[in-house]
A and B are shown apart, each in its own frame.
Chain A
């Protein structure tokens, strides 16, 4: 069973602080690692994604750090804001595999609360 393990399950951060969510994967064939953000009552939305040929990708306050040897990747939210309060999902896929191998496998999610 291919899995993506995500931690922590919940996270409380003060406004202005750094939020860090971690994911670990098993399948070394995975070559695409996105993060999705979900607000209550809404569907998940793509936030940022990375390929394994780079160790870091930054978009605004959001950064993905990728460690290929450890098979881990993490999401860092700098200067966290109350509006960032949401559930975050990491995911992984073997995009080049085609067919069902290209389907995303999601972590179980992290509920982030940013306190004002």
Chain B
């Protein structure tokens, strides 16, 4: 049982480049989330989805986009990467609401 799988684990981007962070879960969870984690700042919600075809903004959505075409996948798109997007990104899923979030192992992104 893989849980929540994130790829890639590490990535270096140049300013202005774009990329997609992949997230897949095999637990048939309806709820999925993207967080960014910066040192000493905790976890900030970027986007979330309560089911296929439904997405909504979190606390820090600027510079990011998401889609949810299937229950399993919730990719995060970075357009025109900026140094401020240097962070560790975590995808998570849950059966519903705040209960039992399962996090992936993260993607460490550096924008130079």
Task: Tell me, yes or no, whether A binds B.
Answer: yes
Interface presence of B42 (CB below 8 A): yes
Shortest beta-carbon distance from A59 to chain B in Å: 14
Cβ-defined contact, A42 with B105, below 8 A = yes
Main secondary structure of the interface of A (DSSP, over half): mixed
A97 and chain B: residue at smallest CB distance = B97
Cβ-defined contact, B105 with A107, below 8 A = no
Contacts of A8-37 to chain B: CB distance below 8 A: 9, 32, 34, 36
A100 proximity list for chain B (CB < 8 A): 48, 56, 58
Interface presence of B12 (CB below 8 A): no
Interface presence of B64 (CB below 8 A): no
What size tier do the contact residues of chain A reach?
20 to 34
Cβ-defined contact, B90 with A103, below 8 A = no
Interface presence of A60 (CB below 8 A): no
Cβ-defined contact, B90 with A44, below 8 A = yes
A98 and chain B: residue at smallest CB distance = B97
Cβ-defined contact, A91 with B40, below 8 A = no
